Amino acid sequence: MKNKSSEVMAKKARKRSFRDIIYHENTVGYVFISLFIVGFLVFTVYPLLSSLYLSFTKYSGLGTPEWIGLLNYKRMFTMDPRYIKSLKVTFVYVFIYVPLRLIFALLVAMLFKGGGRIIAAYRTIYYLPSVIGGSVAVAVIWRQLWGYGGIMNQLMIKLGLMEEQFSFIASKDTALMTIIVLAVWQFGSPMLVFLAGLKDIPASLYEAATVDGANNWQKFWKITLPSLTPIIFFNLVNQLISGFMAFTQAYIITRGGPNDATMLYVVYLYEKSFTTFQMGYGSAMAWVLIVIVAILTAILFATQDKWVYYENK
């Protein structure tokens, strides 16, 4: 009788324990984030670890990967001149387009700092390139604009800047410039961030500067620019990462040509991985890209104390 009673009590305790777990507030939270955790593990962590493993193998996408150690990394820097060229092209692209894009974004943001319906409409118009600029359709149109017989040809001939038709995307001297112009044209996103930053600068600072006799350039140099340095830093990091990941425009407009003049890093990575099916080599390229971006980002974070001004410091 006593044993039977203790079994019933133990059963009730197990039920109560299970019910406590089910109705515990933390359990509800875990249930809600479980889908994200599963998705993160399956679609982010697993591919990352797989690509790290494949970077040490010779793998075509079919069959079993063959372990070759560091050979892909050695081949990249010592036996593949096209890889070195893609690296140079990408650095040139990033170090030209990022400053130009941020400068244009800041200038336009200062023009649109005021209110009004017209200004709001202009903001939307100038933001549109950022929404559609990365699409295949815009890249195709851009290729027509700058190609042989395109609108840019006709415009420059009428202005007397050129005497005959010329394809900007078919020349190795001008092809990268057309890609950079397209990237700079998509300055809508950093412009909106600059606008938000400009609106956060206290008007009292400008009023005090006016009383002291400061002109517009002095107000910009002494008030606007220092106040915007956290925004500039944020945009700089984002655009730097975005620049190294550029793919669609270069692939659609020039496919890396002519003579690899626009062979951006990710375009070459794609070619190696999905055109020649060198998945192991492509994975190694991806990890080198991660390291390059991480180093540059770390340098920016390490130097921010010297030129970024925060109010709470």
- 40 part of a folded domain: no
Return left, alpha or beta for 63; rule: phi > 0 is left, psi -120 to 50 is alpha, else beta: left
Beta strands in 109-239 (DSSP E): none
- 13 part of a folded domain: no
Read off φ and ψ for residue 245, nearest 5 degrees. Answer: -95, 5
The answer to whether 257 and 190 have CB atoms below 8 angstroms apart is: no
Is-cis flag, bond preceding 258, omega within 30?
yes
Beta bridge mates, 57: 67
Structure-derived torsion over alpha carbons of residues 25, 27, 30, 32, reported in degrees to the nearest 10: -70
Q: What integer pLDDT is reported at residue 120 of this predicted model? A: 67
The answer to whether 37 and 45 have CB atoms below 8 angstroms apart is: no
* Per-residue pLDDT reduced to its tens digit, 251-268: 988 888 888 999 999 999
Instruction: Tell me which of 84 and 7 has the higher pLDDT.
Output: 84
In angstroms, rounded to a whole number, what is the distance separating the alpha carbons of residues 206 and 215? 10
| Residue 241 belongs to domain with CATH number | 1.10.3720.10
- 59 part of a folded domain: no
For residue 44, what pLDDT band results from cuts at 50, 70 and 90? very high
Reading the block at residue 128, the tokens are 């549109």
Reading the block at residue 253, the tokens are 């407009």
**What whole-number percentage of the chain has pLDDT above 70?**
85
Q: What integer pLDDT is reported at residue 301 of this predicted model? A: 94
The answer to whether 56 and 70 have CB atoms below 8 angstroms apart is: yes
Which residues make Cβ contacts (< 8 Å) with residue 113, sequence separation at least 6? 195, 198, 199
Q: What integer pLDDT is reported at residue 112 of this predicted model? A: 80
The CA-atom distances, in angstroms, between 90 and each of 93, 184, 300 are 5, 15, 18
Write out the residue range of the structural domain in which residue 263 sits.
70-306
- 136 part of a folded domain: yes
- 26 part of a folded domain: no
- 88 part of a folded domain: yes
pTM of the model: 0.83
Which residues make Cβ contacts (< 8 Å) with residue 285, sequence separation at least 6? 76, 83, 265, 268, 269, 272
Reading the block at residue 24, the tokens are 């515990």
In angstroms, rounded to a whole number, what is the distance separating the alpha carbons of residues 154 and 302? 48
The answer to whether 177 and 219 have CB atoms below 8 angstroms apart is: no
In angstroms, rounded to a whole number, what is the distance separating the alpha carbons of residues 231 and 308? 9
- 3 part of a folded domain: no
**Looking at the 3D structure of the chain, how many domains does it have?**
1
34 membership: H or E segment, kind and range: helix 25-40
Which residues make Cβ contacts (< 8 Å) with residue 129, sequence separation at least 6? 138, 185, 186, 187, 188
In angstroms, rounded to a whole number, what is the distance separating the alpha carbons of residues 52 and 35? 25
- 238 part of a folded domain: yes
85 membership: H or E segment, kind and range: helix 81-111
* Per-residue pLDDT reduced to its tens digit, 98-157: 999 999 999 988 888 766 666 666 666 766 666 665 577 778 888 888 888 788 888 888
Q: Is residue 239 predicted with pLDDT exceeding 60? A: yes
